[in-house]
Amino acid sequence: MGFLNSIEGVLAGAQQGGAQPSEQGRVAGGFLQAVSEHPGGLAAVLDGFRNQGMDQHVQQWQTGQNQQATPEQVQTGLGGTGLIEQTAQRAGVSPEVAKVALAAILPMVIAHMTRNGQQAPPSNQGEFGGLAGSLLSRLL
């Protein structure tokens, strides 16, 4: 469960932009749930970032480099998908708080779920749902 420990470490770290660690944990779980229901799953999310000119960022995140995104990058990559709003709603936070939390966790989620640059994973709801459940049970 190294991935969940990594996320816990980030969430237990310093506050970022007003997002409390417990809010960040809810955002992480909310994002994984929202992606599991998103048409195309994580592969579609990655394509969205690529289509917005962020292919280099995606490549870095897939290989574990550049472990931090910015809220602006999150907005650019996810802005038109509704995932920020869905994540915020599921987490019970504002979209702004969701973007700040996603900036911290999104690169780790991408690195973990794409197996370090390999083919994007299938949109397997069981995999995302199990991961979301494990994360939420450990953080909340």
- State residue 21's pLDDT score: 58
- State residue 12's pLDDT score: 47
Residues in CB range of 132: below 8 A, 6 or more apart = 28, 29, 32, 33, 36
- State pLDDT tens for residues 103-134: 988 888 888 888 655 544 444 444 555 555 55
**Alpha helices in 1-140, H assignment, sequence order:** 2-12, 21-37, 41-51, 55-62, 71-78, 83-91, 95-113, 125-139
Q: Assess contact for 49 and 120: CB atoms under 8 A.
A: no
Cβ neighbourhood burial of 47 (10 Å; 0-12, 13-18, 19+): middle
Q: Compute φ and ψ for 96, nearest 5 degrees.
A: -65, -45
pLDDT over threshold 80, residue 7: no
Enumerate domains of the chain plus CATH numbers: 21-139 (1.10.10.690)
- State residue 124's pLDDT score: 47
Q: Between residues 7 and 109, which one has the greater pLDDT? A: 109
**Orientation angle between helical segments 2-12 and 21-37, nearest 10 degrees:** 140
- State residue 24's pLDDT score: 77
- State residue 79's pLDDT score: 83
- State residue 78's pLDDT score: 93
- State residue 14's pLDDT score: 34
